[in-house]
Amino acid sequence: MTLVGLDLDYVACVVLFCVGLYMLVAKSNLIKKVLGLNVMETAVFAFIVTSGMIDGGQEPIVVAGSAPPYTSPIPHAMVLTGIVVAVSVTAVALALIAQIHAHYGTIEVDELKELP
Amino acid sequence: MRVFALALVLVVAATMVIGIAGLPPHGDPDGPVHTHVGARYLEQGVAETGLRNLVTAVLLVYRGFDTFLEVVVIFTALVAVLALPSATRQPPPSRDESAAASRRDTDDAVPVSPVVFLVVRLLAPFIAVFALASLYRGHVTPGGGFQSAAIIGAMMIALGLVFGREHAARLVPHGAKAWLQALGPLVFAVVALVGWRLTGAFLGFPADEAAHALREALVVILEVAIAVGGAVILAQLFMALDAPS
Amino acid sequence: MTTLGPTLLPWLVALPLAGAALVPIVARRDARWAGGFTLVVALVTTSLASVLVAQLASQGPFSADLGGWAAPYGIELHFDRFAAWTMPLAALFAFVIPFSWRYLDATLPRERWAPFYALMLLNLGGLLGFSVTGDLFNLFVTMEVVSLSSYALVAVAGRGVAAWAALKYLLLGAVSSLLVLFAVGLLFALTGSLNLADVSVRLAAAEPSGAALLALASLAVAFLVKAALFPLHVWLPDAHAIAPSPVSAVLSGLVVKVGIVGLLRVLQLAAGTGISLEPLNTVLMVLGATAIVMGAFLAIFQDDIKLMLAYSTISNIGYIVLGIGLASPFALIGAFVHVFNHGLIKVTLFLAAGAIIHQTGYRTLSDLRGVARRMPQTAAAMAIGAVSIVGLPPTAGFVCKWYIALGAFEADQGGYGFALVFGALFIFVYYVRMLDAFFFRSPVRPEVADAVEAPWSMRAPVLVLAAACLVLGVLGGIPIGFVEPAVVDLLAALGR
């Protein structure tokens, strides 16, 4: 739906992206930063899937009883791959945070900056 | 930092909203998304690929190289975690250590209520069956390799949380671990090679009607490799991350 | 024979990636086999790249349609003159691998050797894929393979300090990757296609829209983060200095160029769309010039040689970006040849520094005084690298910087020529400091006074690469002549 010429679904994705960006930048706890990154990633996935939607459509699986219009399958494939990439980044980030915690004893950026 | 974050966020939001306004409204059947490449996939996908789930068709047949890179990415994550000092090295559980192991199990496990313990134990086999069904039905319903991998991986992680790391680690046979982890990229490379020999194109699938069964077999092999490889990698990622001291 | 190129092209990417998957399996019997196996894969990949370059030279650019689906219905790989840098890229990896054998002996416990080598091959495969792909989403995924392996490689040998540097790199890198994905989503929503050439044509045919501008801007910002252009460079010094030396060589010499290749893709996307690149060019020129001067200036104050080399990378990226922003034939040719030349020189320098650190245990100029007396060959290699990066003839660095300077005057932007001169002066100062400390001072540390040359598996790559710096200085016209037609075509497409 549109409001003042803006596609509200897209705007919702932008808002979600900015919430995640705020978490990433403003929070001091490293895990919260990684969560913010995940929220940003989810926002971009939502944006991509939304772009593939079609009015009155159904999922792009052609079986008996299904009829066009179908949503576009390309965004779904993109997001599936994107989710796997996001999981991979999160895994590496968590491993690094575990290493930081083992060495410094803290995962708060405020405290990490104080240390030599 | 808060002020800077807020200012940055507002600038980014404004920029993105202005840019988004230039997009064609989503949902319009005449938009570029539905009339170009996507339209060809929808019209000819079933005939060209033999798959009814067109998302799987895009993932494995039309854009198989991206999916190959995707299994490489998750493999990279595992190798990355294994390369870092935070990864613990689990010795293979041997028979005589099983007594000591069962003691260590409960030390390592997250203390949960008996209800959670029982529910996880009861549900685990059903979850595994659901994942297998999702894999099997993935070409006619939503589902497929990655979805199954995520479900089985989650099941193994839940078991690891409740029973302790070492107990859950036995779900993945230690000797086969290195092969199972690498299953995604390796099977893709092999299928790509087979496709190369048969059609001259990397990751090509034989197109003629007679090779229909072979094409289906290749797709199933890829899906299984994605599911098994992905599940093992997800479980390994969990097992390898350091326990809090 | 004409289909040899397209047939082999996908394997250029698939081989190192499949090889990486095999490394842990190969290493199960003996971890040392991992290093040898990795070298074999790197050499095979280099040979493959050479065959492809030979095909390119004899028959012109070619494309491979993966799966047999013609673009834009499938993924297309494209091998043109810019993609030819995959050959030196793979070759440089092949030099770094044997260097790592003894280096890892000292820095990494045996059970982590296999993951290290696997990460190196994944990094190589990702870089190759990124350089040859003609598909936007493929660009994103290959970039992620490179980034993920890089984050882990930074932290692999250190403790918390390295992990912290790697995490900062990761957070900034993940945001930039997300910007790329967002841009790909925008471009898909605008054009319905993911093929670079197809998207460019469709954008040109459609009415100008803010969304296209946002997409291109997002891509540009994301790639400038990856390239560590000022002011988005903050992640680089710590990450490159803390990483183990073979990793620093790869990161500074090769991975950082992902941003430059990405920027090239942005230019190719924008070509023909009527979107003016002037604002981007101005930004690139200003930031590039600042990076040249600032990077070099900060390098002067570093005592740790690896931090010095890291700031030098920031400065040299400034050169390349300035050349791209100037957008004149000489400048662009100089910039793209410098992508490769700087890679060669930086790998030489980091490997030589790594050898010195490995043998003496020290990393700072004050501690390493007089090391040239005990490790003359390695120090000589470092001197050659230093002269190359300052840009004196007859070394590899001279030709490209000369071309960029000529390009500045060609584009009536002579002011930037002065940034180049200042930068060169500062660079000269810090490398003179380094050479003075190594060659003309007496050792202060007993480990330096008693040091011996590095073992052959570490020394040979360093010496051969240093020789290559000289050879490429003398033969500098060859890469220039090779890149020139591609640059002319690009500029024509951009309407200049």
Tokens standing for residue C403: 């071309």
For chain A, positions 49-68, list CB contacts with chain B under 8 A.
50-55, 59-63, 68
Contact B76 A73 (CB under 8 A): no
- Which of A9, C199, C194 lies closest to B38 in space, CA to CA? C194
For chain C, positions 101-160, list CB contacts with chain A under 8 A.
137, 140-141, 144, 148, 151-152, 155, 159-160
Residue with tokens 């006619």: B140
Contact B86 A96 (CB under 8 A): yes
Stretch C438-459: mean pLDDT = 84
Choose between A36 and C32: higher pLDDT. A36
Does residue B103 register a pLDDT over 60? no
Give the DSSP H/E element, type plus range, for residue B240: helix B212-240
Does residue B57 register a pLDDT over 60? yes
Contacts of A73 in chain B (CB under 8 A): 38, 41-42, 45, 54-55, 57-58
What is the reported pLDDT for A5? 67
Give per-residue pLDDT as tens, C262-284: 999 998 888 877 777 888 888 89
Does residue C122 register a pLDDT over 90? yes
Smallest CA–CA separation between A64 and chain C, in Å?
A: 26
- Which of C237, C332, C215, C336 lies closest to C285 in space, CA to CA? C332
Give per-residue pLDDT as tens, C348-398: 999 999 999 998 888 888 888 888 888 888 889 998 888 888 877 777 778
Does residue C94 register a pLDDT over 90? yes
Give per-residue pLDDT as tens, A42-81: 999 999 999 988 888 888 888 877 777 888 899 999 999 9
Contacts of B218 in chain C (CB under 8 A): none
Contact B65 C67 (CB under 8 A): yes
Which of A29-33, B134-138, C22-26 comes out lowest in average pLDDT? B134-138
Give per-residue pLDDT as tens, C283-333: 898 899 899 888 888 888 888 989 999 999 999 999 999 989 888 888 888
Does residue C132 register a pLDDT over 70? yes
Tokens standing for residue C104: 């890892």
Residue-level length of chain C: 496
What is the reported pLDDT for C205? 85
Residue with tokens 């596609």: A7
Stretch C453-469: mean pLDDT = 89
pLDDT band at B96 (very low <50, low <70, confident <90, very high): very low
Does residue B245 register a pLDDT over 80? no
Does residue B12 register a pLDDT over 60? yes
Domain presence at residue B95: no
DSSP code of residue C71: T
What is the reported pLDDT for C432? 86
> At C363, is the secondary structure helix, strand, or coil?
coil
Choose between B170 and A23: higher pLDDT. A23
Smallest CA–CA separation between A78 and chain B, in Å?
A: 9
Give the whole-angstrom CA distance, residue A60 versus residue A73.
6
Supply the ipTM of this predicted assembly.
0.94
Domain of B80?
Answer: 54-89+102-240
Among residues of chain B, what percentage have pLDDT more than 70?
Answer: 89
Give per-residue pLDDT as tens, C40-88: 999 999 999 999 999 888 888 889 888 888 878 889 999 988 888 889 8
Give per-residue pLDDT as tens, B193-212: 998 888 888 888 887 777 78
Among A1-5, B33-37, C77-81, name the most confident range.
C77-81
Q: What angle do CA B48, B49, B52 make, to 5 degrees?
A: 110
Q: Report in angstroms the alpha-carbon separations of C130 from C36, C89, C95, C140, C270.
A: 26, 12, 21, 8, 19
Residue pair C259/C226 in contact by the 8 Å Cβ criterion: yes
Among A104-108, C110-114, C412-416, name the most confident range.
C110-114
With a CB cutoff of 8 Å and minimum separation 6, the contacts of C392 are C398
Within 10 Å of residue B129's Cβ, how many Cβ atoms? 10
Does residue B90 register a pLDDT over 70? no
Residue pair A53/A76 in contact by the 8 Å Cβ criterion: no
Choose between C464 and A1: higher pLDDT. C464
Contacts of B86 in chain C (CB under 8 A): 163
Contact C148 A30 (CB under 8 A): no
A2, A30, A88: best to mutate for the B interface, most B CBs within 10 A:
A88
Of C148, C175, C189, the CB nearest to A92: C148
Domain presence at residue B81: yes
Give per-residue pLDDT as tens, C151-163: 999 999 887 889 9
Whether C425 contacts chain A with CB within 8 A:
no
Which of A91-105, B169-183, C221-235 comes out lowest in average pLDDT? B169-183
Number of domains in chain B: 1
Stretch C93-104: mean pLDDT = 92
Does residue B28 register a pLDDT over 70? yes
Give the whole-angstrom CA distance, residue C81 versus residue C79.
7
Which of B37-41, B137-141, C210-214 comes out lowest in average pLDDT? B137-141
What is the reported pLDDT for B104? 46
Domain presence at residue B36: no
> At A56, is the secondary structure helix, strand, or coil?
coil
What is the reported pLDDT for B42? 86
Does residue B94 register a pLDDT over 70? no
- Which of C358, C363, C356 lies closest to C378 in space, CA to CA? C356
Contact B33 A51 (CB under 8 A): yes
Give partners of C (≥3 CB pairs < 8 A): A, B
Average confidence score pLDDT of chain C: 88
Domain presence at residue B197: yes
Domain presence at residue B24: no
Domain presence at residue B8: no
What is the reported pLDDT for B93? 45
Contact A54 B27 (CB under 8 A): yes
Contacts of A25 in chain B (CB under 8 A): 1, 4-5, 8-9
What residue ranges define each of the domains in chain A, with the CATH number in brackets?
A: 2-114 (1.10.287.3510)
Residue with tokens 């190798």: B79
Domain presence at residue B37: no
Does residue B102 register a pLDDT over 70? no
